[in-house]
Amino acid sequence: MPRHNQPVGRTRRLLGRLFLIGFALALAGLAVWAILPSPRREIKRLVQRTERVFASRDIDALRFVLAERFSNIETGDREETIEYLKEIMDQVTEIKVRIRRIRIDVRGNEAFAIVEFNVAGVLKGSEVFPSVPFRGLSGRSDLSNPIERVRLHLVRERDGVFRIDQAELLPPAEVGARTEE
């Protein structure tokens, strides 16, 4: 091999090693990011789990999502809320929930989230109307599917897990409107 190619070969090997080291560092950083808990990621997963609970209509699974001290002015404590939602879901034959956006603000052992979502499905009907489709929570008869919004207050419980402590349904966002708070 001619001597004038040796510096080029060394440079390529050096660049290859640097690339390999950089790639290994990036993988290590990604692994640390995935393993270390992040409150925002934990809350996002909790909201997504709640979405799956409603989509599956398995309301009993809300016990793992709602805090022990959950309360809502309209539905009561955790157990009363679960029973209330079961009664509603008994009237639903199909439901689809799609989360559009989640904004999360973590403050130590509590957090606040605004969740924007669409919901549509089919209600059990009567003999005259065997099933009634719906879009949104307001029961609007037009074909729009409004962006529903809920404000959540979350707390870190004794087991170290964030759970929903309070939920407040906000008015739906107007179509095409920015939903900044």
Residue 94 pairs with which residues in a beta bridge? 122
Pair 92, 122: CB distance under 8 Å:
yes
- DSSP label at residue 67: -
Mean residue pLDDT of the chain comes to 81
| Domain positions in the chain | 1-36, 38-173
pTM: 0.72
CATH number of 38-173: 3.10.450.50
pLDDT digits (tens, 9 = 90+) for 17-73: 666 665 666 666 565 555 556 889 899 999 999 999 998 989 999 999 999 999 988
Question: How many Å apart are CA 90 and CA 88, to the nearest integer?
Answer: 5
